[in-house]
A and B are shown apart, each in its own frame.
Chain A
């Protein structure tokens, strides 16, 4: 079944650690996105990609990096985790054209202690 997968679902990690949040999709979408969302709050754009070897920064990009080496894979890396990074991270993908909408993964709930 075509879908978008995020791992891990939950992560508790210590301050200063380097972490990579995984996101993979089997729908063949060229466009992929990372958003950060605190409970009950808006989604903030972190990074996005419109294809292999193409990445763009969003408003919250300064403390993280992404790569897009394969169409189906779009990992997000925090080089040095801080308590302020505690949040939910949502990955999404979409077909070409705005009418199709984004398909979101289930998210990774990150807690930095």
Chain B
């Protein structure tokens, strides 16, 4: 089977940089994705990593190391609106659905 581990909570202040880590265990690997979910809202897609390295999308970046079974989401120039839950999600192989981690609640204070 597959499993993902990520911290349950992270706190930071406006303007800071925060990194949310995700480690995974899987027999096959197709890609690691990141989703954001605000309270009461639906998850929204942030980024995808299929190969090692950094993917940058505006203030958000995501990194993957397949040899370490590890990835992270980096959020820069934090804003209050970034307070949300962040999920890493594993694609074990083509033709299967994503398996989600338990999520990390990010609280941004002023």
Give the B-binding residues of A (Cβ under 8 A). 33, 35, 40-45, 48, 50, 56, 58, 90, 92, 98-107
Contacts and interface: CB of A to CB of B under 8 A. Distances in A.
Given A40-B103, A45-B99, A98 B42 contact: no
Contact of A40 (B42, B101, B105): B105
Interface of B: 30-31, 33, 35, 41-46, 48, 50, 85, 87, 91, 94-103, 105
Given A35-B100, A99-B48, A105-B42, 15 more contacts: A33-B98, A40-B85, A42-B87, A42-B100, A42-B102, A44-B100, A45-B97, A92-B43, A98-B48, A98-B50, A98-B94, A99-B31, A101-B45, A101-B48, A104-B43
A90 B43 contact: yes
Given A43-B100, A50-B95, A98-B91, A103 B30 contact: no
Contact of B33 (A56, A101, A107): A101
7 contacts: A40-B105, A45-B99, A98-B48, A99-B48, A101-B33, A102-B45, A102-B98
A90 B48 CA distance: 20
A102 B43 contact: yes
Given A90-B42, A104-B43, A43 B87 contact: yes
Nearest to B34: A101
B49 to A, nearest CB: 10
A106 B86 CA distance: 17
A98 B43 CA distance: 16
B97 A48 contact: yes
